[in-house]
Amino acid sequence: MGLIWGWLTPSLYIRLFFEMNFELGISSYIQIKRFRSIKTGVDVLSNILAVTGAVAIFLAPLISAIVVVKLKNLDLLRDRKM
């Protein structure tokens, strides 16, 4: 049971989140550098996905901060003194 719980800790999810952002950032950066070489419809789709990924990387910390603040506020509402 201890081995399974070690894999399910929040630190694992945080690590996977950072790795996902890093990989998405690298792939978006590479595609944006090739932005001018549009030859097919697939290149247009790839460029749209690259820009969307870059925007998502910049918004992810903001959304995460908002979620953390909201969760802290919910904990205050569960307090018996409130």
Residue 82 inside a domain? The answer is no
Please tell me the pTM assigned to this model: 0.57
pLDDT value of position 68: 75
pLDDT at 73: 72
* Domain ranges, residue 12: 2-77
Per-residue pLDDT of the chain (82 residues; tens, 9 = 90+): 455 655 566 677 777 888 888 888 888 888 888 877 777 888 888 888 888 888 888 888 888 888 777 777 766 556 666 4
Q: Under DSSP, is residue 29 helix (H, G, I), strand (E, B) or coil?
A: helix
The domain total for the chain is 1
Q: Let me know if residue 29 belongs to a domain.
A: yes
DSSP 3-state assignment of 13? helix
In a domain, 45, yes or no: yes
Q: Which two tokens stand for residue 61?
A: 């910390």
